[in-house]
Chain A
């Protein structure tokens, strides 16, 4: 019997375990999942907490309950992986031998890596909404905010859900409009990138939307210090952005045990992984997906979902001695909440940047365009997450490979925009 060990019981670990359980009978393979706690957070919901649109307890469920029968779920900290002996060492001294290892432990926030960020003012006028606690504390601060300068700062890429900070800006614009004090609030989005987003067509549309909403954009700003007392972001090249309230997305690393496991991770603790097969560079029987993997694509749940389909097939192929399926194309799909009950949708992969059009085909949801339908899609997705995505069911019309039907090719777009 083959022993499959999955590290991490979040989006990637859960859907992988459930899909593998359906693929292999209990006599063919044992499946063990290890996570350090029993709190599964629906992370896309964190964005809504500061605006009182959802409560932290509504987006957290027990991890253990998301798994099919026949999966051994352990709550334990991971100390390191011995890749030579093919065993996972747990913090309590326990050991799990594996034939196949799946790394799905995500990314961890490292606010302490930025000078001053966790110093005076942290959780008082400097917040992050990337944790349930931070999002709740920020919600209280926003409710008490009567006017002034709010900055939203991405310290450094990569971060989870790269569109979330932009969504936060759009929702803040809506929120202060609703409260009738938008004219007393100055909103500024500060990014290390050279535009609002990395890919040209989407960057232009999103940059335009910021402008339309009266949100300032500061680019190529690498924050070296956050001065909570003085209310200043200071960049490494000594520029300053003043604030009364700062929303900071700290730098991200891989889980700390990855760094303790020789050869498994890169300099930031992300697992070096084949872009198309999801096989780790370090060993053929190690796979990685989701935020834990070092791939040139967004760290996002949709990416993890699409990767999962290919990864599960490759675990099967590895155990049967067959060649790998190199079909993961970098597909990502993100709703971008823009406030006022509207959202945009972007759909892209390694080679095709987010383009206008419709998803998944010509009759589908509008791409790169605000619509009420996309907002409803975003809200509905939370149900699909718990009831379809995690259990490993296929979502109709949404597949691993990115669809091209319905997308306006880049050349058409440029020609169209010139004509208009």
Chain B
């Protein structure tokens, strides 16, 4: 657990870099979190995915997996990998300030 000043706010994140309290998140925090992940500047397409992650988390309590994102966010899986390389679901969740998607085990 680390506390860090991000975009002027003291923000607590876990060992993997996910925000502990999703309510501390705002657009400026997203921009800074993205920058730290080597992503930016954030385009409209990035924001479409980030906002979708936020709304899914608010209604369902967990972020979607990449396949669900591809089916429901309006952004194809191929493009998701261009926007958020390596692991779109994980990376977009981190930048959206929500917990790591539970996936299923």
Contacts and interface: CB of A to CB of B under 8 A. Distances in A.
Contacts of A220: 86-87
A162 B105 CA distance: 6
Interface string A239-267: 00000000000010000000000000011
Interface string A193-216: 110011100000000000000000
A87 interface: no
Interface in A67-109: none
Contacts of A156: 65-67
Interface string B62-101: 1011111001100001101100011100000000000000
Interface in A142-201: 156-158, 162, 193-194, 197-199
Nearest to A348: B105
Interface in A280-309: 295-299
With a 10 A CB-CB cut-off, give which of B66, B68, B105 has the most chain A CB atoms: B105
Contacts of B72: 267
A156 B65 CA distance: 9
Nearest to B102: A296
Interface in B26-67: 62, 64-67
A10 B41 CA distance: 51
B71 A299 contact: no
Contacts of B67: 156, 251, 268
B64 A199 contact: no
Given A220-B87, A237-B81, A237-B85, A197 B66 contact: no
Interface string A218-239: 0010101000000000001100
Contacts of A197: 105
Contacts of A199: 105
With a 10 A CB-CB cut-off, give which of A194, A198, A224, A267 has the most chain B CB atoms: A267
Interface of B: 62, 64-68, 71-72, 77-78, 80-81, 85-87, 102-105
22 contacts: A156-B67, A157-B103, A157-B104, A162-B105, A194-B87, A220-B87, A222-B77, A222-B87, A224-B78, A224-B81, A236-B77, A236-B78, A236-B80, A236-B81, A237-B86, A251-B67, A266-B68, A267-B72, A296-B62, A297-B104, A298-B105, A299-B104
Given A156-B65, A156-B66, A156-B67, 16 more contacts: A162-B105, A197-B105, A198-B103, A198-B105, A220-B86, A222-B87, A224-B78, A224-B81, A236-B66, A251-B67, A266-B68, A267-B71, A295-B104, A296-B62, A296-B102, A296-B104
